[in-house]
Amino acid sequence: MTLSVTISEVGPRDGLQSVDRVMPTEAKKAWIKAEAEAGVSEIEVGSFVPPSLLPQMADTAEIVAFAKTIEGLDVVALIPNLRGAENAIKVGVDKMSIPFSMSETHSVKNVRKDHPAMLAEIRAIAELVAEQPEGQRPHFEVGLSTAFGCTIEGPVAEDQIVRLAEAAMEAGVAECGLSDTTGYANPAQVTRLVRKVKAAIGSDNLNTLHLHNTRGLGLANVIAGLEEGITTFDASLGGLGGCPFAPGASGNIVTEDLVFMLEAMGIHTGIDLEKLLKVRDIVAGALPGEPIYGFTPDAGLPLGFERAAA
């Protein structure tokens, strides 16, 4: 089992895109700064989508510029297309991820492209990245979304996921990640699909899982991923977020609960949980009345709790 993992905080993007209100820019900056100071080393700070579609993400360029001033922080942004990639590269993101839905119906609804069009877009973005000067090329990852099932189509054939993962790698991406966009995954399915995709594209090219806790299996699915060598897990502070284009797909894994579980198991995250718990005050203050979740924040840390050794 993996003994050290990276937790990628996706709340400022995946969390806020599902909240009707727009969090003030200064509150976003305070949130990101406080999480980095708690030891979170990778944060998805926004998405380069048209503000008309997601006004919550209208300040992403400014947020990226701010986050880039934080030493030791890997700054991630989601991109929907080539134009989004151009904007992300312009402001110097460290890593960018494009959602590639394994459900073609969801892909058309989410980004208005079928699978062939998405692969063409991915190839164009990979070529754009390759054109950048060495040392200024962002890490380009494809998130294989709805990989564990779709709220529109239902089950997605695993052979199709493997085929599309191979096609994405052939198009020039650095790696693929598996995303449980809809909260359908179970541990046996996680084990099976991680093994199949790793066998097809290489173990080094699948390192990330984006899991939801919609049906209460988020942390169980993390354990399954750990046992298959996954080293990066996405999570959202307070469990904010879901996919606005997948009805009923609420509930990212709660960052605080994930950190507690891993550290209690002796798996190093580099995150100071006591500091992380205090970050909730920033989010709650900026989004009054918005539900935020977490068992660990409610119960507190157990007597004698110690962080895992590096």
Is pLDDT at 245 greater than 50 in this prediction? no
Given 150, 201, 243, 253, the catalytic residue: 243
Residue ranges of domains in the chain: 6-299
CA angle at 215 for the pair 211 and 220, rounded to the nearest 5°:
55
Task: Tell me the three state secondary structure of residue 30.
Answer: helix
- % of the chain beyond a pLDDT of 70: 97
Tell whether the model's pLDDT for residue 3 goes beyond 80.
Answer: yes
**CB hemisphere CA count around 54 (13 angstroms):** 26
Annotated catalytic residue 243: yes
How far apart are alpha carbons 177 and 7 in whole angstroms? 14
Nearest CA among 44, 41, 71 for reference residue 269: 41
The chain-wide mean pLDDT, for the chain, equals 94
pLDDT digit string (tens) for 262-296? Answer: 999 999 999 999 999 999 999 999 999 988 889 99
List, for residues 289-298, the tens digit of each pLDDT value.
988 889 999 9
> Tens digit of pLDDT for each residue in 191-240?
999 999 999 999 999 999 999 998 889 999 999 999 999 999 999 999 99
Radius of gyration of the chain (CA): 18
Q: Which pLDDT value is given to residue 78?
A: 97
Fold topology of 6-299: TIM Barrel (3.20.20)
Q: What is the pLDDT averaged over residues 176-186?
A: 95
CA-based nearest residue to 273, from 301, 295, 236, 233: 301
Predicted TM-score (pTM) of the model is 0.95
Identify which of 239, 234, 235 has the alpha carbon closest to the alpha carbon of residue 207: 234
**pLDDT at position 31 over 60:** yes
What average pLDDT does range 111-126 have in this prediction? 96
pLDDT exceeds 70 at position 52: yes
